[in-house]
Every structure is written in structure tokens, then in C-alpha cells.
Amino acid sequence: MEKIYIFESSLREGEQAAGCGFNPKSKLEIAQQLEKLGVDIIEAGFPVSSPGELAAVKLVASKIKKCSVAGLARAVKKDIDACWQALKKAKDPRIHTFIATSDIHIKYKFGKGREEILKMAVEAVKYAKRYTRNVEFSPEDASRTEPEFLYRVLESVIDAGAVVVNIPDTVGYSIPTEWFDLIKSIKENVSNIDKAIISVHCHNDLGLATANSIAAIEAGARQVECTINGIGERAGNASLEEIVMTIHTRKRLLQKTTDINIKEIYSTSRLISRLTGIYVQPNKAIVGGNAFAHSAGIHVDGILKNRTTYEIMRPEDVGAQGHKIVLTARSGRHALEDKLKKLGYKLKDKDFQKTYEAFLSLADKKREIFDEDLKTIVEEEIFRIPETYSLQYVNVVTGNKTIPTATVEIKKQGKIIEEASCGDGPVDAVYKAIDKITKMQIKLLDYSIKSVTGGKEALGEVTVRVKINGKEFMGRSASTDIIEASAKAYLKAVNRACKPCSRY
């Protein structure tokens, strides 16, 4: 299988993403992780842009020993000098010089003619070759450059000594068939193309950066320029993880390989996210939080029977923890049964049915059911205390200028009893109404509440400790309604006092 070289540009192109920037320490930390990941070339920055940038690139170049380090330079001598100043201590320094070649750039950015641009390109490559044999040239906006002129530029810079010619889709304009044809035409029309590696640098303005990169590989490109999480200017760049895993997953079709240690992909993604402050969208391919999550009952059933029914790669392959079964109202019985077994519950058919019904009821109120939710459901439905008193209805009226008042209906031995009471707060009012119904002397010793799971729809778990007739009893209940949970927890403690259960 033919090797595809991975040119990683998060430290240069990725830093151009709005709101993103790295200090020297962060650049080095990322570079060392990229080295661990196994990239072939790290584009460390644009040295001439500032003294701090030059120092950061210099630091990276001095520390990285397993891969080439590149710096970007316009087709200007001072840029190339700064690039070499930053890179000269690198193991394999690469000067990456560029100039725009499309008519729209030539006219509006330079106010020059094509021949002047061609001359500048050639002179830049020759000047860079004075420092290092490893020179890469990019004709910026190649996708909108007139093909015949593009061929001339590439042939000329290769004659001048460029060992890599990078074809950028600078504005993310191309579509895969068109990009394939362009790379193929370069191979067919640039007479000395065999003396250089063809690289591609695709932007994601139309969401096609990865697809275009793969099309270019199929057409003969042997290097791809990409970033972790696809970060970069505007809509970003081709995503390293998507390109690498496409090559890895479809290797029989593409007959290509890379030197990337794919088990480091996930941790590298998270490092970039942490240092840039740019969160990875949940549905992002390969590294998104939902990339290996399954919710629909049909999908979950398939995954539980055989992972390959709905997963084309293993989450462990890229360093993720494993696939995630997300329990929702659509997950189905098989998913719930599997999750309960993993939590250590082996329920009889009758108990499972009760749990399933309670699960569906809660799932209609919440988008996602967590392990803690299920534990609470099982405790509530299966291991429930014999009920002398059961809550039928609770309503509270409260406010910052209103005396909290509660109305409570409780069933006792088939009879519904209703009482109302005021209190210092809504929970206190509920408890005083319950005290009236039970006619018991109940002293509340402790009351605590916590969120069982995260989010606005989280279950709230209430735990109470009470003293009745000199003995202490505890009750716990959970609900998305805190008042309901408080009432049920209080009644559980009361029911324990009425019919103590050896289980507790």
C-alpha cells in the first residue's frame, strides 16, 4: 500500500480560526502530541508575522525530533529569512512558500500580471533552496486559477527546486469530481511532476474538504494538509481524523496507508479543543460526543447483537472509551434490559415490565435516561416499601410575597384523605399537611436534595431523616418535580415507621 503523508497545520492554519491563538507553551504541547500521533510534517506557524510567533516556531523546531517541522513564508525574501531563522535547528526543516495564482487574486491583491507572479514564485523557491533542500510551494487559490497558467507555475517551481507542490482549494470552492480532475490533469500536463510530491490543502466552506482530499488521493496526491477537528480559517480545513480514518477504514478500496497512530486521535482532539476553547460539535465524525452513541431501538438492538451492524469502526481504535447506548423513549426493551444487567439488576419478567413502564414514563419527561435514573426507578418500583400511605396529589402555592400553602391528597387503605396547610416554605407546608393526615408526631431531623443527573431536566433526589416515636427512619425519592420528590421521600420514612422492612 502506498503511503499518504500527513501535513498537520493546526499550529498555523488552525490558529487562524476566529478567537483561536496559541502561546509558545501551548504550541509546544500540541506539537509534542502531534509527534506522538505520528504526523509526518508539523506546520508550526508563520514566523515573520511577529517576534513571538518566530520564537514559538523556533521552540517547536528545537524540540521535535521524529517529524519534519515547516514554517510558512510568502514569496518574499524577508519571510523566507525569518522562516529559516525559526527552523534551522529542526531535524528536517521545511520552508513552505506561497503566492496567489488566480486572476482574481493577482488583480486585486497584487495589481500585477501573471508573468510577474510566475517570476516571484520561482525566485522564492530558489531563495529558499539556499537554506534547505526541503522546499514546498503553494499556488494560492489554485482551484480558481486558469489551468494552463497553473501548469506553468508548477513546472517552473519544480525546476527551481520545489520537492512538494501543494494545490490549495483556498476558498473551499471545488467539488470532489472537479478536484479529482484537476489533480489528474496536473499529473498529465506538468512534465516534471514526477520530481515532486503533489499535496492538497482543502477548505471546508461547502463542507467538502474531506471529500475533496480523498478525491485528490484517488487522483494521485500523496500528501494531505489538514488540521485536528478541522479547525481553521472561516469554516475550517480538512479534518485529519476524518481523512486518516477514511484511509484506514476503506484501505482495501483506496490501497493507501498512513503512519498515524490512530489510538491517539481522540486525546489529540480533546487537547486541541481544550487549548483553543473551541468545542467539538456532538455530531462531529470520529471525535464527536455522539460519534459512537446509539439511541434508536432498532440501532441499539443491532449493536447489542453485533457491533458491525451500525459501527464501521471501533471507538477504541481512535482512543475513545467505547460505544454509548443512550436510553431514550425510543430505545426499546432490549436496550433497557442490557443496561439493567450491566448495572447488576436481574429482574423477573413482572418486575422488568414494571420497570419498563416507569422508564417510559420518565423518558417522556427527559431527553436521556442515565444510570442513576435507572437505579432510582428500580428502587422505586421493585424494592419499594409496603405503603400504608401513598401520595395521590400535591399542589403548592408559593411566591416571594405569598404565604406558602400546600394541598395534599393521600390514600390510606383505599380511602382518600385531603388536607391543606401553610408553612415557612413549600416543602414545609407539604410536610405539615402530611402530618395532619397521618396524625403522627414527626420530627424532621435532616433534609437534603441533589441532582441525580445533569441538565435542566435532571431528576432531583430528596433524602429525609425523621424521628417517630423515638426511632429514626429514612426516606428517599426522586422526581423531575422537587415538591413531589420531597413528599414521597417523607412518606417513605413514615411508611417505614408503620411497616418496617427488613430490606432496609
Residue 196 placed within a domain: yes
Copy the grid coordinates of residue 18: 476566529
| Alpha carbons 377 and 384: distance in angstroms, whole number | 10
Residue 287 placed within a domain: no
pLDDT single digits (tens) 210-245: 999 999 999 999 999 999 999 998 999 999 999 999
Statement to judge: residues 71 and 210 lie in one domain: yes
Statement to judge: residues 71 and 111 lie in one domain: yes
| Alpha carbons 63 and 60: distance in angstroms, whole number | 5
Q: What is the CATH number of the domain that holds 121?
A: 3.20.20.70
> Which three-class secondary structure state does DSSP give residue 445?
strand
| Alpha carbons 50 and 77: distance in angstroms, whole number | 16
- Domains in the chain, number: 3
| Alpha carbons 70 and 7: distance in angstroms, whole number | 9
Predicted TM-score (pTM) of the model is: 0.72
Q: Which class for 428: exposed (0-12), middle (13-18), buried (19 or more C-beta within 10 A)?
A: middle
Within its chain, how far is the Cα of 307 from the centroid?
Answer: 21
| Alpha carbons 121 and 127: distance in angstroms, whole number | 10
For residue 153, is pLDDT > 50? yes
Domain extent, residue 340, equals: 293-381
Q: Is residue 60 a contact partner of residue 44, using CB atoms and an 8 Å limit?
A: yes
Q: How many CA atoms lie within 13 A of 229 on its CB side?
A: 28
| Alpha carbons 470 and 179: distance in angstroms, whole number | 83
Residue 457 pLDDT grade (very low, low, confident, very high; cuts 50, 70, 90): low
Residue 288 placed within a domain: no
| Alpha carbons 96 and 165: distance in angstroms, whole number | 10
Q: What is the CATH number of the domain that holds 427?
A: 3.30.160.270
Return the percent helix, strand and coil in the chain, to nearest 5: 45, 25, 30
> DSSP readout, 261-319?
-GGGHHHHHHHHHHHH--PPPTT-TTTSTTTTEE-SHHHHHHHHH-GGGT-SS-GGGGT
Residue 199 placed within a domain: yes
Q: Is residue 377 a contact partner of residue 355, using CB atoms and an 8 Å limit?
A: yes
pLDDT single digits (tens) 393-444: 999 999 988 999 999 999 998 899 999 999 999 999 999 999 999 999 999 9
Residue 479 placed within a domain: yes
Statement to judge: residues 270 and 301 lie in one domain: no
| Alpha carbons 201 and 203: distance in angstroms, whole number | 7
pLDDT single digits (tens) 154-201: 999 999 999 999 999 999 999 999 999 999 999 999 999 999 999 999
